[in-house]
A and B are shown apart, each in its own frame.
Chain A
């Protein structure tokens, strides 16, 4: 079983956000103590909000058509888009969660960093360009290119909304807890601030505002993390070996932090985790949407290349930050809760929890104002990620469910965009409500579940419809549904939910990660059902593959830049 050596260490605020924790079999989120109000952090965050609202105002004036709203007019450059993709992917979970994991377990933190990154080459080699050549606004456009609009849009939109919902709950609860710690504001305030701001960004500014918020946050986060890692290395003469030696000398586990620990013991669990992380990336709706904001396939492929570099660089920084935390914070009692004798637990005793390693390190290397800056960046990070999720959800509602399923194409752009804005408002309100309801629930497994659903429903439906001629509507519909139900069902029956939440004595499904089973099941179902499907419609759909294939491979006939 994959088991974090110290599940309790992660049982703090940010566990909610961390996919790391998602696989930690559900630590108790527990009550987080509200800190003293942190004015520098609030001030810098307020500045970020004002600045991004200014951008939203400008974006709103330039957002008129559906192409503007969903895809920023198709006019985003590859460089900008790569920053936005990286921004979507570098959540507060990866920043605080992984550096915290490196702090407690050393090497084991690297296992997640690699898992999160290796999905990107797959996206590039198999999906990105074809997606751009075939689609307009959502990945359902691509999956339903030659298949039945109604059925495929229903399954794609369902997959999208399920992924968005789980992801959003984890982010909202995480945001509330984080803000309590960082800013000293009450939980509910934080949840409402996040909800209202994301509604404003998405409903008024559409994809343009969402993209620029993401880009700014990515630059701030990369800049802040670079400074921190640089400051750590500076203290050790830019010699990583000296940093590692200092860390080993300080850490209670000593030299064991340089080698694999107890994180991955069961090979099946390890591979299932890997499958979920790798292929889930290729099925996340808010990431896939970003390939429609660039002008052509070439720009799509360049975006992935740059984004992979940025994300890889970021994970290496979090690793250095984690080790810096060990070397610089672990022997300083100022960062720990002390017992009566003045002693402290180096691993579990950090004030605010282990996920505060990066934040405390900011104070250690840059003083209270840099601490404020990093806190503000962490909040901005959550905000940007939830905005991207909201836009993906709103697009699935308006562009897929409303325009194609309910109105059957008999609608106009203006009505569709208006509905999308309403959907964004509704999703925002629902998210605030869910954040409120789930405050004291265990939500740590939800990001992991979102990745598993993306890998088991969205990814198979999308790739099979693009790559295999034999795929029919029935095959994709039933296969996607089976993958979705299997992924959710297996997680419900696993320890994280069945035992921890429902209080049953034994888990029915023995693993924490379902992807190794649910994803192949979805592919198999698509193949078998498609093979059995010999309806007139199925024959027509197979005949239409050639035209789709020509366009997916060459871009001939694809919409050019959406610019007007």
Chain B
């Protein structure tokens, strides 16, 4: 790719918008995922009694519910990212490609 074209794309407002939004969004979700997972591990390491608490008077414990929740949340977070990427980010990329005539 020619340097000129690179510079032109890098200066384009659509490109700046895309990079800014996606970088922020990606890192935000990454940090949320880290907090969820290491929060869960932290509870296991520091507060086992809390995780042993029974839910709804039955046999299932809070820890069990939280563990399954971590798995489900990981899936939901990827879903949120893909939805945003398929909509907003792909639109911005398409607009950018129109700008530079590709």
Are these two chains actual partners, yes or no? yes
Residue numbers of A with Cβ under 8 A of B are: 107, 110-111, 113-115, 117-118, 120-122, 124-126, 129, 240-241, 244-245, 248, 255, 258-260, 264-267, 270-271, 274, 278, 298, 301-302, 304-305, 308-309, 312, 315-316, 319, 546-547, 549-551, 553-557
Nearest first, the 9 A-B pairs at minimum CB distance are: A259-B52, A110-B67, A267-B45, A244-B59, A258-B61, A125-B26, A557-B1, A118-B37, A305-B82
CB distance from B1 to the nearest CB of A (A): 4
Q: B1-30 vs A: 1/0 string, CB under 8 Å?
A: 101001101100001001100100011011
Known contacts A118-B33, A259-B48, A312-B72, A298 near B67 by CB under 8 Å: no
CA–CA, A557 to B81, complex, Å? 24
CA–CA, A315 to B69, complex, Å? 12
Residue numbers of B with Cβ under 8 A of A are: 1, 3, 6-7, 9-10, 15, 18-19, 22, 26-27, 29-30, 33, 36-38, 40-42, 44-46, 48, 51-52, 58-61, 63-64, 67-68, 70-72, 74-75, 77-79, 81-82, 85-86, 90, 93, 96-97, 100, 102
Known: A271-B41, A301-B85. 11 other contacts (CB 8 A): A118-B74, A124-B78, A124-B81, A125-B27, A129-B85, A248-B59, A270-B45, A271-B45, A278-B37, A301-B81, A554-B97
Q: Is A113 a contact partner of B67 (Cβ separation < 8 A)?
A: yes
15 sampled A-B residue pairs with Cβ under 8 A = A113-B67, A117-B71, A121-B81, A124-B78, A241-B59, A241-B60, A259-B61, A271-B41, A274-B38, A305-B82, A319-B68, A550-B10, A553-B18, A554-B18, A554-B97
User: Which residues of chain B are near A554, meaning CB under 8 Å?
Assistant: 9, 15, 18, 93, 96-97
The B interface is mostly helix, strand or loop, or mixed, namely helix
User: Which residues of chain A are near B10, meaning CB under 8 Å?
Assistant: 546, 549-550
Q: Is B45 a contact partner of A302 (Cβ separation < 8 A)?
A: no
Known contacts A118-B37, A248-B59, A304-B78, A556 near B30 by CB under 8 Å: no
Q: Is A121 a contact partner of B78 (Cβ separation < 8 A)?
A: yes
Q: Is B96 a contact partner of A274 (Cβ separation < 8 A)?
A: no
Q: Is A111 a contact partner of B44 (Cβ separation < 8 A)?
A: yes
CA–CA, A240 to B64, complex, Å? 12
Q: Is B61 a contact partner of A113 (Cβ separation < 8 A)?
A: no
Q: Is B41 a contact partner of A274 (Cβ separation < 8 A)?
A: yes
User: Which residues of chain A are near B48, meaning CB under 8 Å?
Assistant: 259-260
Q: B71 touches which one: A113, A240, A547 (CB < 8 A)?
A: A113
Q: Is B29 a contact partner of A125 (Cβ separation < 8 A)?
A: yes
